[in-house]
Amino acid sequence: MIKFGTSGWRGIIADDFTFDNVRIVTQAIADYVKETSRKSAVRGKKQYRQSVVVGYDTRFHSENFARISAEVLAGNGIEVLFTKRDCPTPVIAFEILRVKSAGGINFTASHNPPEYNGLKFSPSWGGPALPETTTAIEKKCIMLQTSPAKNKIKMMPYEQAVNKGLISEIEPEKRYLKRIRELVDLKAIKKAKLKIVCDVLYGTGKGYLDALLEESGCETRILHNYRNVLFGGHSPEPNKANLSELLSILKKEKYNLGLGTDGDADRFGIIDADGSFITPNDTIALLFDHLVRTRKWKGVVARSVMTTHLIDAVAKMHGVQVRETPVGFKYIGEVMTKENMIIGGEESGGLTIMGHVPEKDGILACLLVAELVAANGKPIKEILKDLYNRVGGAIMSTRLNFHMPMEKMNKIKEKLSKNPPSSIASLKVKEIVTIDGYKFLLENGSWVGLRLSGTEPVIRIYVEASSKKRIDVLAQASKKFLAS
């Protein structure tokens, strides 16, 4: 069964992620695009070009999956704008909005292990597809899978489609980089003469992040800027463990900053000058404060439910309203389409800002951090200490994965629903937020979040408090509750 998750459809290559299933999903998307286009025309709504931007990452067979997808779209009479090289997901989003396309498809499993591939579909508004869209596509997939008529999947050979003008190859790099130059103060970066190490983790960030840093006069060292479909034997996720080489370099040598992006360059990872990993939570809060102070922007800030309340403290300081969303960047993107949003981010390492795409962008995030360091003239940890002082104290957070059998998880789900804790580590629960999972707001301003994975036997524990010691106490109490 083809099922879309938090960010697209993913599966293990040659198991459920196959050429046949790619044809089915693309045909379902083609049917969806034509159907929504007809409905828009009937209602007199704004018309979008009946075209789809198609890209791919550096994974095994990604370009071939993308080519098959392009052939199906062309077979349905839909124009395809096919990227000439591997392409970051935020660049696909940028192109959708630039050409007023009906949508975009990027073949990527983002930060998943090497054996996975995936398909991200973004509709005409440029953000990750919302549940009503993916549910409609899933239903069409079921119809195609159960239909005896195989000719329901229409295809046109790639070269024939090129000759007919249905497929055209595009190079969006220059246009996208031009937009990033407008959003980031590259002059400040140039003036600071920063020394930066980048790790693009064998992904699509190469030629984007490093290009703008070098253009800004930074002394730049780049790691893993070539294709390796095994990603060096680990997931291309820019977390502390996977950026170990970057950490090691910054601990041993004199650099101002370490920057990392994931497989499709929508997530970011930040390393301070001393080799310390800066969490996405802290990064988003710092950039939010920086943007309000330097750009003087007015609007709201959006964060997912399990993302730090340091953002809320910064918002209170600047008189900005907070929009809390379920987990998944699609919901933050949705806020952006309805309100002036200064910045939106989630603790897993994604953000976007006002004037950009309603999709997370790791390239933009890394460059904004470089601007932050350049503007302040000191390491990130010192900038963070200054922020803590201005908001009235430290706000620290962590995330833990608690593995257990699915049967046990189901019992915990029932327990949380029927008999949630009234206190955690002797701290009274003031409020329970159930937007996505269970979030227990405690009497001293701390909170604990519990989210059950829908795809694997894992419960994610989120803890936020004023010190690492208090975080440890709350984490242990949470584990004890789950084990009981």
- DSSP per residue, 421-461: -SEETTEEEEEEE-SSSEEEEETTS-EEEEEE-SSSSEEEE
pLDDT tens digit string along 260-283? 999 999 999 999 999 999 999 999
Q: What is the mean pLDDT of the chain?
A: 95
pLDDT of residue 425: 96
Is the confidence at residue 46, as pLDDT, over 90? no
pLDDT tens digit string along 297-319? 999 999 999 999 999 999 999 99
pLDDT grade for 38, boundaries at 50, 70 and 90 = confident
pLDDT of residue 395: 97
Task: Please name every residue paired with 302 in a beta bridge, in sequence order, or none if there are none.
Answer: 323, 344
pLDDT tens digit string along 6-15? 889 999 999 9
Structural element, H or E, at residue 65: helix 62-75
Is the confidence at residue 185, as pLDDT, over 60? yes
Percent of the chain with pLDDT over 90: 90
Mean pLDDT confidence for 419-427: 95
How many Å apart are CA 129 and CA 138, to the nearest integer?
12
Mean pLDDT confidence for 332-337: 98
Side-chain-side CA neighbours of 276 within 13 Å: the count stands at: 13
Is the confidence at residue 43, as pLDDT, over 60? no
> Could you tell me which of 245, 208, 240 has the C-alpha nearest to residue 366?
208
Is the confidence at residue 387, as pLDDT, over 80? yes
Is the confidence at residue 422, as pLDDT, over 60? yes
How many Å apart are CA 186 and CA 175, to the nearest integer?
16
Instruction: Let me know if 89 is exposed, middle or buried by CB neighbors in 10 A (0-12, 13-18, 19+).
Output: buried
Is the confidence at residue 65, as pLDDT, over 70? yes
How many Å apart are CA 355 and CA 94, to the nearest integer?
11
pLDDT grade for 44, boundaries at 50, 70 and 90 = low
pLDDT of residue 191: 97
Mean pLDDT confidence for 10-37: 96
**How many helices and strands (H and E) does the chain possess?**
16, 22
Mean pLDDT confidence for 317-343: 98
Instruction: Let me know if 392 is exposed, middle or buried by CB neighbors in 10 A (0-12, 13-18, 19+).
Output: exposed
pLDDT grade for 453, boundaries at 50, 70 and 90 = confident
How many Å apart are CA 205 and CA 226, to the nearest integer?
10
pLDDT grade for 45, boundaries at 50, 70 and 90 = low
Kindly report the CA angle at 80 between 141 and 350, in degrees rounded to 5? 75
pLDDT tens digit string along 207-263? 999 999 999 999 999 999 999 999 999 999 999 999 999 999 999 999 999 999 999
Mean pLDDT confidence for 109-138: 97
Is the confidence at residue 39, as pLDDT, over 80? no
pLDDT of residue 454: 65
In the chain, the domains with their CATH numbers are 4-171 (3.40.120.10), 176-391 (3.40.120.10), 396-483 (3.30.310.50)
Least confident of 161-175, 201-215, 405-419: 405-419
pLDDT of residue 48: 72
How many Å apart are CA 258 and CA 260, to the nearest integer?
7
- Tokens (6 digits) for 431: 């409020």
Is the confidence at residue 472, as pLDDT, over 80? yes
How many Å apart are CA 410 and CA 453, to the nearest integer?
11
Structural element, H or E, at residue 4: strand 4-5
pLDDT grade for 380, boundaries at 50, 70 and 90 = very high
Is the confidence at residue 456, as pLDDT, over 90? no
pLDDT of residue 47: 66
pLDDT grade for 40, boundaries at 50, 70 and 90 = low
Is the confidence at residue 119, as pLDDT, over 60? yes
How many Å apart are CA 229 and CA 272, to the nearest integer?
28
* Tokens 């993302």 -> residue: 307
Query: In terms of pTM, does the model score above 0.75?
Result: yes
